Amino acid sequence: MTSRSILLALVALASSTAHAAPTADADGRDRFRAIYKELIETNTTLSSGDCTLAATRMAARLKSAGYPDEDLRIFVPDGHPKEGGLIAVLHGSKPDAKAILMLAHVDVVEAKREDWTRDPFTLIEEDGYFYARGTADMKAQAAIWVDNLIRYRESGFRPKRTIKLALTCGEETNGALNGAEWLTQHAREAIDAEFALTEGVDGTLDEKGKPVSLGILAAEKISQNYTFEVTNAGGHSSRPLPDNAIYHLVRAVDRVSRYEFPVDLGDASRGFFTGMSKIIGGADGAAMAAVVRNPMDAAAVAVLDREPNWHAMLRTTCVATMLSAGHATNALPQRARANINCRIVPGVSREEVRLQLAKLADDPAVAVTIPEVRGPIAPPAPLTRRVMGPIEQVAGEIWPGVPVVPALEPGASDAQFLNPAGIPTYGVTGLFTDADGGHIHGLNERIPVKSVYDGRTFLYRLVKLYADQ
Ligand SMILES: [Zn+2]
């Protein structure tokens, strides 16, 4: 590992570019905004950006706030010079108390200037919103983590437990080197913690911008691909045979399309539907309460299945995502292959799902296999009082009466790597986005300005409470 020498060089480089001194505003909001702006205006897309540069700039911020070099580590995976990250540490006073980890990815989804209304890599404040790529996903939280460390140190806060920060790259692009996964394999001790906090499900605002609920990501589905493959001797297309690889395949895929996995509610989905049933009310709310009481209630399930997100939270799902077949327009196909992408609820194994898919294929000509496995499946992080208590307390201070609702994430975050590595990971942001999701990953990504500043207050107090447990 050459990260140590790179660190010294990069920190020296970055700290030579002058940063504004702490401003006079009471809680350093201007300085926070400058950190947020710097992070956003450092392009961190996979195609043309540089996460290592973003991490280095954040390290320089921490260095100028008084963090010594030995507590700032820039890591750069071999062969990926622009996909590095940062680990920073604020030491706790009790050596036997386990650390807590603030985790954020600093990479962002691609954004084309010509498609956007405003420059995606300039932080623009307009009509009460911050606009730019990464304003919501997830440079606000990354900037808040850096700001937290600066403020804790500046105020002389001496936590009982060590507070760690990890900024990583590669979360947004399938197939890219994932920094969080890399850390679990190459720097497991450096990120060891009782639990970690990262992005997840944000809070939701109504049309008037009023907070409806604060989501907590408590469990994630895992994404697993399966291959359906049929091989055949083929032949000339002028003499068709009933034994045709494409026909075998499409019939099997069609049977998958008509199957629903049974409703399977874990703690997180049960918590979500219980909480949301009260917020939403009406027929949907009644259906949510009914499904929690009895997951076999077909009428209630049918109501919830109309909403794709709820449909996905109720069960494991599998869907055909790619097809390839045949080798010539005038030949019987020798090979036909489909990719079936499944999102598996916690507690169900990859093999159980494979057996179910093979049963659906119902054809010995169709081989159902697992092409690639990425990491072990871990149980969801438990929703203990030790974790939930401080969240409810601080949320109650800032957003009185707004319920904290656990959720099962149908997508996946870096928790998928930390949970199996033995670091329970919760998606806690304190950031509220509009009902449209703030165009995350899309055009003109934005987040309400007030949401960012309130989220900053929330995460500052929350991590402080955890750190003194
Ligand atoms: Zn993200």
Q: Which domain holds residue 16?
A: 3-200+413-467
Dihedral (CA of 11, 16, 17, 23) sign: positive
Distance 447 CA to ligand 1 centre (A): 14
Cα 304 to averaged position of ligand 1 atoms, centre (Å): 26
Ligand 1 midpoint to CA 433 (Å): 14
Three-state helix/strand/coil letters over the chain: CCHHHHHHHHHHHHHHCCCCCCCCCCCCHHHHHHHHHHHHCCCCCCCCCCHHHHHHHHHHHHHHCCCCHHHEEEECCCCCCCCCEEEEEECCCCCCCCCEEEEEECCCCCCCCCCCCCCCCCCEEECCEEECCCCCCCHHHHHHHHHHHHHHHHCCCCCCCCEEEEEECCCCCCCCCCHHHHHHHHCCCCCCCCEEEECCCCEEECCCCCEEEEEEEEEECEEEEEEEEEECCCEECCCCCCCCHHHHHHHHHHHHHCCCCCCCCCHHHHHHHHHHHHHHCHHHHHHHHHHHHCCCCHHHHHHHHCCHHHHHHHCCEEEEEEEEECCCCCEECCEEEEEEEEEECCCCCHHHHHHHHHHHHCCCCCEEECCCCCCCCCCCCCCCHHHHHHHHHHHHHHCCCCCEEEEEECCCCCHHHHCCCCCCEEECCCCEECCCHHHCCCCCCEEEHHHHHHHHHHHHHHHHHHHCC
Distance 267 CA to ligand 1 centre (A): 23
Residues 76, 172, single domain; the answer is yes
Using DSSP bridges, classify how beta strands 129-131 and 72-75 pair: parallel, antiparallel or unpaired.
unpaired
For ligand 1, the distance from its centroid to the CA atom of residue 105, given in whole angstroms, is 7
Model pLDDT, residue 362: 97
Are residues 227 and 115 part of one domain?
no
CA of 354 to the centre of ligand 1 (A): 29
Q: Give yes or no: residues 240 and 101 share one domain.
A: no
358 Cα–ligand 1 center, Å: 34
Measured at the CA of 48, the angle between CA 439 and CA 185, to 5 degrees, comes to: 85
CATH of the domain at 160: 3.40.630.10
In a domain, 396, yes or no: no
Q: Classify burial at 422, counting beta carbons within 10 Å of its beta carbon; exposed 0-12, middle 13-18, buried 19 or more.
A: exposed
How much distance in Å is there from the Cα of 131 to the middle of ligand 1?
16
Give residue 229 CA to ligand 1 midpoint distance, Å.
34
Distance 441 CA to ligand 1 centre (A): 9
Please tell me the distance between residue 171's alpha carbon and the centre of ligand 1 in angstroms.
Answer: 7
* Spatial contact of 249 and 329, defined as CB atoms under 8 Å apart: no
Distance 169 CA to ligand 1 centre (A): 10
Q: Ligand 1 centre and the CA of 187: distance in Å?
A: 22
pLDDT of residue 440: 80
Same domain, 82 and 153: yes
236 belongs to a structural domain: yes
Q: Clarify whether residues 167 and 242 are in a common domain.
A: no
What's the CA gap between 202 and 436, in Å, rounded? 12
Q: Ligand 1 center to residue 419 CA distance, Å?
A: 17
C-alpha 141 to ligand 1 mean position (Å): 10
User: Is position 386 within any domain?
Assistant: no
- The reply to whether 215 falls in a domain is no
Pairing of strands 317-325, 335-344: antiparallel
Quickly tell me which residue has 């449909």 as its tokens: 311
Residue 196: predicted pLDDT: 96
Cα of 225 vs centre of ligand 1, distance in Å, is 21
Give me ligand 1 centre to Cα 427, in Å. 10
Distance (Å, rounded) from C-alpha 35 to C-alpha 165?
15
Question: Does residue 445 share a domain with residue 341?
Answer: no
| CA 127 to centroid of ligand 1, rounded, Å | 24
- Whether 295 is in a domain gets the answer no
Same domain, yes or no: 43 and 89 = yes
CATH label of the domain that carries residue 232: 3.30.70.360
Looking up tokens 């926070």, which residue turns up?
32
Ligand 1 geometric centre to CA of 137 (Å) = 5
396 C-alpha to ligand 1 centroid (Å)? 26
Tell how far the Cα of 460 is from the centroid of ligand 1, in angstroms.
20
Give backbone dihedrals phi and psi of 405, rounded to 5 degrees, phi first: -120, 115
Do 194 and 239 belong to one domain?
no
* Cα 216 to middle of ligand 1, angstroms: 14
Asked whether residue 29 falls in the same domain as residue 145, the answer is yes
In a domain, 170, yes or no: yes
- Same-domain check for residues 90 and 155: yes
C-alpha 457/C-alpha 460 separation (Å) is: 5
Q: What is the pLDDT of residue 334?
A: 97
In the chain, how many domains are there? 2
pLDDT along the chain (469 residues), means of 10: 36 40 68 98 97 98 98 97 98 95 97 94 97 96 98 96 98 91 97 95 87 87 93 96 97 98 90 89 96 97 95 95 96 97 91 98 98 78 88 96 83 82 93 83 91 97 97
Domain shared by 449 and 343, yes or no: no
Residue with tokens 């944000």: 202
Nearest CA to 444 out of 201, 204, 111 is that of: 111
pLDDT computed for residue 5 by the predictor: 36
Question: What's the pLDDT score for residue 23?
Answer: 42
Nearest residue to 274 (alpha-carbon basis) of 386, 266, 396, 409: 266
399 occurs within a structural domain: no
Distance 349 CA to ligand 1 centre (A): 26
Q: How far, in Å, from the CA of 170 to the mean position of ligand 1?
A: 10
Distance 104 CA to ligand 1 centre (A): 8
Q: Say how many Å lie between the CA of residue 93 and the centre of ligand 1.
A: 32
Contact 175, 365 (CB under 8 A): no
Place of tokens 């304190």: 430
- Cα R_g (the chain), whole angstroms: 24
State the distance from the centre of ligand 1 to the C-alpha of 438, rounded, in angstroms. 13
The verdict on residue 175 lying in a domain is yes
Residue 45 sits in the same domain as residue 87:
yes
